[in-house]
Amino acid sequence: MLNYTGTPPLAAMAETDSRQLIAAELRSLIARIEISVRLIDAAMTSEDWEPEDDSAILSAISGSTEIVVLDDVTPRYATVGAALNACRAELGNALQNLSESGNPA
């Protein structure tokens, strides 16, 4: 978690500095969301390919294309991933709107 103890209040900063700080924070949030989405994708992928018994492995080796994986975790991961993607899109919109109101670079 970031420590803002020494950060001056936004009201005391120049408008350009405030926009730059806000833009940097939005970029940081977007990056953290992207990391979370990658972690969720990796967790879903690793759980999809970890069979609970050897029969699934033998079925896959013998060339069967009818492998069905039933779990109760993937739908939750998918829901969380969708929520994070929606957050990422909204943060991207916020960053775009901020940059249109002035140069946050």
User: How many other β-carbons are positioned within 10 Å of the β-carbon of residue 16?
Assistant: 12
Chain segment 52-103, per-residue pLDDT in tens: 544 444 455 555 566 655 566 678 888 999 999 999 999 999 999 998 876 5
Q: What is the pLDDT of residue 71?
A: 62
H or E segment to which residue 44 belongs? helix 15-48
Q: What is the pLDDT of residue 75?
A: 82
Chain segment 3-45, per-residue pLDDT in tens: 556 655 555 556 678 889 999 999 999 999 999 999 998 888 8
CB-based contacts of 56: which residues, under 8 Å, 6+ apart?
Answer: 67
CB-based contacts of 85: which residues, under 8 Å, 6+ apart?
Answer: 37
Q: What is the pLDDT of residue 22?
A: 92
